[in-house]
Amino acid sequence: MKRVVITGAGTINALGHDVPQTLAAMKEGHCGIGPLEMRDVERLAVQIGAQVREFASDTIFNRQQLALYDRFTQFALIAAREALAQSGLEFSGALSAKSGVVMGNSGGGMQTLDENYRTVYEDGKNRVHPFVVPKLMNNAAASHISMEFNLKGPSFTVASACASSNHAMAQAFQMVRSGMAPVMITGGTESMLCFGGVKAWEGLRVMSKDACRPFSATRNGMVQGEGAGVFVFEEMDHAKARGAEILAEVIGFAMTSDASDIVMPSRQGASRAIAGALQDAGVNREEVGYINAHGTGTAANDKTECSAVADVFGPHADTLMMSSTKSMHGHLIGGTGAVELLACIMALRDGVIAPTIGYEEPDPECALDVVPNEAREASVDVVLSNAFAFGGLNAVLALRRV
């Protein structure tokens, strides 16, 4: 089996328009959540979110591109450009033929759907723009990345709700590890902060109206975010041979299905995924210094996740750190695991653990070190990133410091 390393990272999210801005914001414990700015916001019961602000897409893309790129595709391309620039890779010949893109995404082009439903249902028009379908299809982001960077190998989009990014990165990891592809571009993207996207989430009554406070006894729900994270997964020898800078090594993953409830999380499903990732990576549980939690800030997720971690790690659960950066960048749904992987890389490379902000009061059911409110300096060798989706689909990744 090949070893897999990360040689490029890119993002755009509520904390920043690139990786340095995002990591600086995480180190400062900055909150990207604020009042939503969108049409008809006064008709929403939930009026906060982690929106990407000061985003002038017309200065980044030309008119022809904007006609084809929904906001989730724009985010993905911006993140991919940063990741590919950092990696220094260019794709031609055999490298191009074998390398591909696997992106996570849940909702597809929801801005496009929202706008065009308005056009036909509310405005009563009988004609929509001819590119509605290629703009809203949820493989559009992966396809446009493949076109911009000449990636002609295995390329597709993975949808598993809130675990989409982790499932996508697990696929990319597996392809590089097995020798199927020398390089895979992977991550996730989401843009669900439109009227219909927020309205749909309101219905479940799991959203907070004021803040995302994971693990705090005062938590009262999740807050949606938007954006993308994209990474370059590369076979280690390939990266070393060209003298590439290595950000971290991806050492294992596991995926499980609860097979029980469409929305309620399962302690057993989560713990099987965490234990499976440790086994796949071949690491002892004592080696894990940090977990980037799924940590949605809902009553159900946070206590279930903490008990799953306690099950797997035993006494070491009291020693390791686990934070939820969703408190800062919100829940990016299908893109969330990708942005959260940045906190994992920061922990390994910079020795800085991103905090769980908004933490007010301990909850006996979440009695772990959740790095409350302030980032912490710590040297860690192995980290995990958890994702537990609606539908009971779980995916956990393991990374090691290089």
Partner 1 sequence: MSVKDRVIAIVAEQAVLEPSDVTLENTLEDLGIDSLGLVESIFAIEEEFDITIPFNANEPEKSDFDISSVATIIAGIEKLVDSAPAA
In the complex, the residues that contact partner 1 under the rule CB under 8 A are: 45, 203-209, 219-221, 262-264, 298-300
Cβ atoms of 224 and 336 closer than 8 Å? no
- In whole angstroms, the minimum distance from the beta carbon of 378 to partner 1 comes to 30
Report the nearest approach of partner 1 to the CB of residue 264 (Å): 7
Could you tell me the sign of the dihedral formed by the alpha carbons of 51, 53, 59, 60, in that order? negative
What's the rounded Cα separation, in Å, for the pair 8 and 247?
7
Which one, 299 or 310, has the nearer CB to partner 1?
A: 299
Closest distance between partner 1 and the C-beta of residue 34, in Å? 20
Comparing CA positions, the residue from 353, 341, 343 lying closest to residue 380 is 353
Q: What Å distances lie between residue 13 and 18, 33, 78, 309, 342, CA to CA?
A: 8, 11, 11, 28, 12
Q: Which is nearer to partner 1, 187 or 358 (CB)?
A: 358
* Catalytic-role residue among 17, 31, 144, 162: 162
Length of the chain: 402
- Within 10 angstroms of residue 180's Cβ, the number of other Cβ atoms is 14
162 catalytic residue (yes or no): yes
* Marked catalytic residue, from 17, 331, 344, 366: 331
Whether the CB-CB separation of 246 and 402 falls below 8 Å is answered with yes
Catalytic residue among 294, 306, 329, 366: 294
Q: Which is nearer to partner 1, 27 or 219 (CB)?
A: 219
Nearer to partner 1, 63 or 205 (CB): 205
Minimum CB–partner distance for residue 45 and partner 1 (Å): 8
- Report the candidate in 171, 222, 51, 198 with the shortest Cα–Cα distance to residue 114: 198
With beta carbons less than 8 A apart as the criterion, state whether 377 and 256 touch.
Answer: no
Tokens of 345: 């890389």
Catalytic residues: 162, 294, 331
